[in-house]
């Protein structure tokens, strides 16, 4: 995720970190070059290029912008729901640590359950990002990596540990119920994240958006060649920047767990959990992650 203060006018005009320009630049250059070719042919061989009325492009542009806005709203809803689910997971882990202090008297068992909770969080992050097992998830939950669903296996291990504590009489019925409900809340958030990750926006949306956007930008020079002449490539590039840029931003937001600049900072959220759990483990809290070049992973 890009983290920075309100940019200055200069940064607003020239900042590339977090901008969509590097992604769409090849497409913009192609559209501008084709527009320049249309203008050249129009001036070199008058009458060879048809000149279209701008009214149709106005209607076409309004319809395209409405559809892009609808798709952007759908993508942002996925991104925001994912952020709320991870915020809920962080709150659940903090509450789980406090509840263990209340209901579990054995210190070593508390520490083991908290280590399992952190392993679950890192395995869940790696699972959502389609990582085979990065350093954190492998070090904290190595024994679960071979399971079909590693984070779910970590939750199962937590449930088994709680059941053993209940059987030993270390946790009373009320405490076992409260901790089981906390695990259920974590499992519900995990399932919500997996639903988002495994159910992308319908592919037909992307297909329709990109086809109509390029069609609009490719035909636009035919309406601009007479009114603006050699400025047509500039206007085509500006229109393409708006439409193609919005389409690419929507692609980023529709995949909130990825590694793109606009994805969620899952590493930073996991570190926030480690900082919160460290006092309950009797350990020194690690330093929070700071943005690097305005990027927080």
pLDDT in tens, 23-65: 888 999 999 999 999 999 888 888 788 887 777 788 888 888 8
State yes or no: pLDDT of 284 exceeds 90: yes
Q: What is the mean pLDDT of residues 11-21?
A: 69
Query: Which tokens belong to 58?
Result: 């106005």
Exposure on the CB side of residue 167, measured as CA atoms within 13 A: 6
Give the whole-angstrom CA distance, residue 123 versus residue 133: 8
Residue from 123, 33, 25, 80 nearest 263 by CA = 80
Exposure on the CB side of residue 56, measured as CA atoms within 13 A: 9
Give the whole-angstrom CA distance, residue 173 versus residue 289: 39
Exposure on the CB side of residue 242, measured as CA atoms within 13 A: 14
Per-residue model confidence as pLDDT tens digits over 179-209: 999 999 999 999 999 999 999 888 888 888 8
Give the residue, 251 or 135, on which the prediction is more confident: 251
Give the residue, 94 or 4, on which the prediction is more confident: 94
CB 201 within 8 A of CB 254: yes
């Amino acid at each position: 995720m890009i983290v920075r203060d309100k940019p200055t006018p200069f940064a607003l005009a020239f900042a590339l970190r977090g901008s969509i320009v590097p992604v769409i630049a090849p497409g913009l250059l192609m559209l501008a070059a084709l527009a320049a070719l249309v203008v050249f042919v129009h001036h070199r061989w008058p009458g060879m290029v048809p000149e279209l009325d701008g009214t149709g492009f106005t209607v076409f542009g309004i319809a395209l912008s409405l559809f892009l806005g609808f798709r952007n709203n759908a993508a942002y809803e996925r991104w925001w729901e994912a952020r709320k689910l991870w915020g809920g997971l962080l709150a659940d882990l903090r509450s789980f640590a406090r509840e263990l202090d209340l209901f579990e008297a054995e210190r070593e068992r508390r520490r083991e359950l908290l280590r399992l909770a952190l392993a679950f969080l890192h395995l869940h992050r790696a699972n959502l990002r389609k990582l085979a097992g990065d350093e954190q998830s492998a070090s904290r939950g190595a024994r679960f990596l071979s399971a079909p669903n590693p984070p779910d296996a970590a939750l199962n291990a937590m449930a088994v540990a709680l059941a053993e504590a209940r059987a030993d009489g270390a946790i009373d019925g009320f405490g076992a119920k409260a901790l089981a409900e906390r695990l259920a809340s974590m499992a519900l958030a995990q399932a919500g994240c997996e639903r988002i990750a495994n159910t992308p926006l319908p592919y037909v949306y992307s297909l329709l958006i990109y086809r109509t956007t390029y069609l609009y930008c490719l035909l636009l020079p035919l309406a601009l060649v007479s009114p603006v002449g050699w400025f047509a490539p500039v206007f085509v590039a500006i229109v393409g920047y708006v439409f193609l840029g919005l389409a690419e931003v929507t692609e980023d937001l529709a995949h909130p767990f990825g590694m793109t600049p606009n994805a969620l900072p899952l590493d930073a959220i996991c570190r926030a959990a480690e900082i919160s759990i460290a006092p309950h483990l009797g350990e020194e809290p690690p330093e929070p992650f700071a943005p690097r070049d305005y990027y927080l992973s």
